Chains A and B, each alone.
Chain A
Amino acid sequence: GENVEQHPSTLSVQEGDSAVIKCTYSDSASNYFPWYKQELGKRPQLIIDIRSNVGEKKDQRIAVTLNKTAKHFSLHITETQPEDSAVYFCAASYNTDKLIFGTGTRLQVFP
């Protein structure tokens, strides 16, 4: 079955800096890759997603890149703000079916 690895597990940045989180998936059939932000005790919230027919997608300060050959995808957050502090999960699935999540990255943005 699908397995998703996520790095780093924790990431601390200064406000205004960029943050990059990387994920690797194992199943080449996976074609949908969402990123979720989760605050403590709250629901995962979709922040951006990408499908395998696209190499990059951007939404304001957030961008995701996908390398199908290498089977990895990355989340880029620019101009980080303290409210970006949360746990970020990548996930992979086939046709947006069941999501297989990475182990999460705890991002801390210091003012």
Chain B
Amino acid sequence: AAGVIQSPRHLIKEKRETATLKCYPIPRHDTVYWYQQGPGQDPQFLISFYEKMQSDKGSIPDRFSAQQFSDYHSELNMSSLELGDSALYFCASSPSAADTQYFGPGTRLTVL
């Protein structure tokens, strides 16, 4: 069965650079969630989209923005990167805003 696809899988950036993370949900899933997981931490909700509209927002810094496109894929844009942004970033998708979330393999972002 098709799963959530995230790219890139690994990303190394310098401080103050920008990064773009991509998420391709499972086919026919219209809801996408982004989570950030620091080392030894639990995943923290960042932002979600339902039918290409932002549906909820969590502890996402103003330096980050995200959107969901017409094909339902989503991109997380991160600017002015800080050392503390180093983390695993997971995208999850669900068939609707009221169904089980399935996680992608994650993008490991390292900020040097």
Contact = CB atoms under 8 A, between A and B. Distances in A.
B53 to A, nearest CB: 14
Interface stretch (B62-70, B76-84, B100-108): B100-108
A98 B90 contact: no
B54 to A, nearest CB: 12
B48 A43 contact: no
Contacts of B100: 34, 46, 49, 96
Contacts, number: 53
B72 interface: no
B19 to A, nearest CB: 19
Contact of A43 (B94, B97, B106): B106
Interface residues of B, number: 25
Nearest to A98: B45
Interface residues of A, number: 20
Nearest to B91: A43
B104 A43 contact: yes
Nearest to B103: A43
A101 B43 contact: yes
Interface of B: 33, 35, 41-45, 48, 55-56, 58, 88, 90, 94, 97-106, 108
Interface string A61-99: 000000000000000000000000000010000011111
Contacts of B104: 43
Given A98-B56, A99-B43, A44 B97 contact: no
A97 B43 contact: no
A26 interface: no
Given A42-B105, A43-B90, A43-B106, A95 B98 contact: yes
B42 A101 contact: yes
Contact of A99 (B55, B98, B101): B101
Given A43-B103, A44-B103, A95 B97 contact: yes
6 contacts: A34-B100, A44-B103, A89-B42, A96-B97, A98-B45, A103-B41
